[in-house]
Structure 1
Amino acid sequence: MSKMDELEAIRKKRLQELQRSLEARQYPAEPVIVTDISFDRFISQYPLTVVDFWAQWCGPCRMLSPIIDQLASELQGRIVFGKLDTDQNPMTAQSLGISSIPTLIVFRQGNLVDRISGALPKHLLLQRLKPFIS
């Protein structure tokens, strides 16, 4: 490989890294508060979203919350996480048949593709989300 080819390969690689970095900055690094009013817009705004259905009084929800915060930061640019308080926003939870919390629902292009119930540990959540991450 000539020096020019090497330089071109380095330039292309760096350009791709910069593009990924720019795309990641357009995605929130923390969970977005979602309401009944903003729900449809939120799930269609990003290619892949995960909505955490929770309530203030729910112990397992409070255990899951820091994990969701970590994943939102670690997966920035690939998944956008949202949090919907089911006590304050019952219509969306009811329309999706949420009967227990915490429940995470994964949406791709606005379509429901997976439902995860319970406060799973981080490694199991990552395992469930991995097939959806491009």
Structure 2
Amino acid sequence: MAKIINSNEFIEQVENNKGVVVVDFFATWCAPCKMLAPIFEEVGSEFDEKAKFFKLDVDQSGDIAQKYGVFSIPTIIIFKDGKSVENLAGFMPKESIINKIEAHL
């Protein structure tokens, strides 16, 4: 299961990380976020050894959402070596998410 991180953990777990990290920017009240959640978890288990997966609640960590230009949710951002390399806004099917992640491994 993808761990929900806060602003402080984001710096350590994402920005200071070498390798691929995938972050789901979500809110607890967001219906499309709830639809994406099980897909995000499935993809996370499939990439268990290849990438790290985290979730960030935009209501709790608005500073990070603002820093990365997240204005609509759900948004998935793929990071490589601490830098944002892909921004996926809105609900996406599992295969599309997998293809985007694989492009950065």
TM-score, normalised relative to structure 2:
0.94
Specify which structure has the higher proportion of helix: 1
- Once residues 51 and 66 of structure 1 are traced to their aligned partners in structure 2, the CA distance between those partners, rounded to angstroms, is 14
**Superposed counterparts of 1:85-124, under 5 Å:** 85-124=57-96
User: What value does the CA root-mean-square deviation take over the aligned residues?
Assistant: 1.0
- Once residues 118 and 37 of structure 1 are traced to their aligned partners in structure 2, the CA distance between those partners, rounded to angstroms, is 25
The structure showing larger relative contact order (alpha-carbon pairs under 8 Å, at least 6 residues apart) is: 2
Q: Which runs of 5+ in 1 are unaligned?
A: 1-29
Q: Does 1:129 align with 2:101?
A: yes
1:115 CA displacement:
0.4
The answer to whether the 8 A contact 1:46-1:80 is kept is no
Farther-moved stretch of structure 1 (113-122 vs 124-133): 124-133
- Once residues 108 and 32 of structure 1 are traced to their aligned partners in structure 2, the CA distance between those partners, rounded to angstroms, is 18
Query: In structure 1, which of residues 33, 41, 47 is the aligned counterpart of residue 4 of structure 2?
Result: 33
Q: Which amino acid aligns with 1:115?
A: N
- Once residues 47 and 66 of structure 2 are traced to their aligned partners in structure 1, the CA distance between those partners, rounded to angstroms, is 28
- Once residues 49 and 127 of structure 1 are traced to their aligned partners in structure 2, the CA distance between those partners, rounded to angstroms, is 15
Q: Which amino acid aligns with 1:90?
A: G
Q: Which amino acid aligns with 1:77?
A: E
